[in-house]
Chains A and B, each alone.
Chain A
Amino acid sequence: MISPLLNYIRSTQVWNSIFRHGIPRDRRTRVMAVMSNVFLHLHPVAVRKSGIRLSFTWCMGGLTFFLFLAEAISGVLLMFYYRPVVEYAYADIQALRSYVTLGLLREIHRWGAHAMIIAIWLHMMRVFLTGSYKPPREFNWGVGVILLVITMLLSFTGYLLPWDQLAIWAITVGSNMGKATPFLGTGGPLSDMLAIGGVPLVTARSDAAYLLLANTSVGENTLMRFYVLHCIALPLAAATLIAVHFWRIRKDGGISGPL
């Protein structure tokens, strides 16, 4: 009953216009399945057996990527309900729980973010323990480090958006450190040295923390700044670098293995 139906579907023009190969059951069609699909095409057609063993990669890079996608999707859905303005932000978050059907969006987004941090650390640990940063993969390790920083910044900027006590004070603790930047923060060492004719260049309204917060303390402008960073700038940067990361994995000869 089912299989004639499937066979019929596979013989239609619509199906064949999407999938230009038969069922991936033999070598040729399996190669085609990977080659003719833009997403699967991230992969080479064949890979070394040791590289794809779960015990080798722990699937942690893949998991990080999966969580990134989960964050992107749940994040877009959250953007439908959330307004990054001090008057509404907190109430919008509260409303998510009570009014939105299957109100799990925020949970998925928040715990997914924590999970992504854990996964990326473990991914880095596995790359380190297998010595996979060694030539020819030095550069891709560097790309990874920047991805690590972006991932932590994504979590950090997102932490502010619920606009509750937890949020603003956690961000205050973090951004206070910006005030202490050497030379560039008002409270930082040697910042007095940057002055022209006795007029200080680095003040509370022009220092590194001000750049981050758009204010001298966490306030209205900070919320907008973090929102834009969190929803636009950082995800775009991450997506771009992930593309570079994946491209380089292939160009560097696929997942590492004994030489």
Chain B
Amino acid sequence: MLSSMITLAAAAGSSNLEWFKELVNRFSVPEISLPLFFLPLFVLLLVAYKVWTRPLFAGTLLVLFCVFYFGSMAIDENYRAIVMKPDNVPITMMLLGVGFCLWWGFRQAAINDERIKAGQPLIEEDKDDKVLVWPDLVYTELICMVIAATVLIVWSVLLPAPLESPANPAGPPNPSKAPWYFLGLQEMLVYFDPWMAGVVLPGMIITGLIAMPYIDTNPKGNGYYTFAQRKFAITVWLFGFLILWVVLIVFGTFLRGPNWNFFGPFQYWDAHLQVPLTNVNLSELFWGDLLDRPLPANPYVREIVGIVFVFLWICVLPYALARTVMRKMYEQLGSVRFYVMAIHLVVMAMLPLKMVLRWTMHLKYFVNLPEINLNL
């Protein structure tokens, strides 16, 4: 029933919307959509949070999103196949959940920030403070549980769990993908080798998260929603979560096809598509393009620019930050806290840096030492 309606609508819509699909396909490549769409959207989210969180405004955004996201299923079968793939359905739920919760949190932050400015009590401050767990909390929990159980059962009735053909160790599917919640990491493989994307970066996500409460010494914003009082912390954290995690998951699941080539949302996943690999290493750019000389034989001499650059980026940049733009923060935090924070920050920033260099200069590796399996 639902699918026949979609097919009907598809027949009606497909004919004259080719220009739209073409436009979206072209626009969605990461080098365009990340800097020109997702990044500005992220900035707007933070700068204009008092505006877009108004219920009417946010409701309109939700409707627009749904029209675009679900409406596109009616006009294109490639897109429909991706979104309706059983193991991708949770991604839609995740996107709606993250969007809704962002609104919920920032709405209260907006109200609280207004109240703080006006010297009024926060939403969370109640005069008659305590209530009994029975019935107030226990009943809320019960209702949440019943709703969650219902949703889970309905979901399970509607959508069978996928089961593909039996495992065949000799025949990998193309593309082979990790479960969707790890696809941010798999997408990072485009820019980094597995030891970075699969080991160092996830490791530093974990250590960074654990270290966070000890680094963030700002006493404000403890136990209530606010943005104005915690701008730096919230900006960095949400940039990591929304852009470097959620958006990369969407790229990795929806927009990466055979051979990990990029495909627009309305593009057919053509397994024979040949994309020439034109990426070059920093050493080649330096010795070849800049000095016009052959690559030196000694690998460490060959890679010297990259090695120096990585050293500067990871070891010297935090120090430079402490001395200049982040001087005040350095003084507040002390050296241990500051350097733990700064090293996590510059390593995290390597990902966007590498992206930009890839898009602009086709940079493959800063340092390319196959001799010891070390490529960065």
Chain A interface (Cβ within 8 Å of chain B)? Answer: 24, 27, 30-31, 33-34, 40, 43-50, 52, 54-56, 58-60, 62-63, 66-67, 70, 86, 90, 93-94, 97, 104, 106-108, 110-112, 114-115, 117-118, 121-122, 125-126, 128-135, 137-138, 141-142, 145, 148-149, 152, 155-156, 159, 162-170, 172-174, 176-182, 185, 187-193, 217-219, 256-259
Q: In which size bucket is the chain B interface?
A: 35 or more
Compute how far the CA of A173 lies from the CA of B187 in the bound complex, rounded to whole angstroms.
12
Known contacts A121-B94, A180-B193, A257-B124; A163/B166 CB under 8 A: yes
Which chain A residue shows the least CB distance to B199?
A: A181
Contact A55 B104 (CB under 8 A): yes
Residues in A neighbouring B149, C-beta threshold 8 A: 66, 70
Task: Quote the shortest CB–CB distance from B164 to chain A (angstroms).
Answer: 4
Compute how far the CA of A257 lies from the CA of B106 in the bound complex, rounded to whole angstroms.
17
Task: Quote the shortest CB–CB distance from B257 to chain A (angstroms).
Answer: 15
Task: Quote the shortest CB–CB distance from A145 to chain B (angstroms).
Answer: 5
Contact of B209 among A58, A93, A94, A145 (CB under 8 A): A145
Compute how far the CA of A256 lies from the CA of B141 in the bound complex, rounded to whole angstroms.
18
* 8 residue pairs, one from A and one from B, having the closest CB atoms: A177-B198, A107-B156, A138-B213, A180-B194, A256-B223, A189-B374, A114-B90, A50-B124
Contact A118 B94 (CB under 8 A): yes
Known contacts A126-B105, A134-B216, A182-B199; A48/B130 CB under 8 A: yes
Contact B198 A178 (CB under 8 A): yes
Residues in B neighbouring A169, C-beta threshold 8 A: 172-173, 176-177
Contact B132 A31 (CB under 8 A): yes
Contact B93 A115 (CB under 8 A): yes
From residue 124 to 172 of chain B, which have CB atoms closer than 8 A to chain A? 124-126, 128-138, 140-141, 144-145, 148-149, 152-153, 155-157, 159-169, 171-172
Compute how far the CA of A169 lies from the CA of B134 in the bound complex, rounded to whole angstroms.
49
B43 interface residue, CB < 8 Å from A?
no
Which chain B residue shows the least CB distance to A111?
A: B155
Residues in A neighbouring B144, C-beta threshold 8 A: 54, 59, 62-63, 66
Contact B234 A27 (CB under 8 A): no
Contact B178 A173 (CB under 8 A): yes
Task: Quote the shortest CB–CB distance from B35 to chain A (angstroms).
Answer: 24
Task: Quote the shortest CB–CB distance from A133 to chain B (angstroms).
Answer: 4
- Quick one: CB contact mask for B217-231 with A, threshold 8 Å, 1 for yes? 011111111100010
Residues in B neighbouring A66, C-beta threshold 8 A: 144-145, 148-149
Known contacts A24-B134, A121-B98; A133/B224 CB under 8 A: no
Task: Quote the shortest CB–CB distance from A25 to chain B (angstroms).
Answer: 10
Q: Could you name 10 residue pairs across A and B whose Cβ atoms are closer than 8 Å?
A: A55-B108, A111-B156, A131-B222, A135-B213, A141-B209, A155-B181, A166-B162, A170-B178, A189-B195, A259-B223
Known contacts A108-B156, A110-B161, A167-B167; A58/B132 CB under 8 A: no
Task: Quote the shortest CB–CB distance from B266 to chain A (angstroms).
Answer: 25
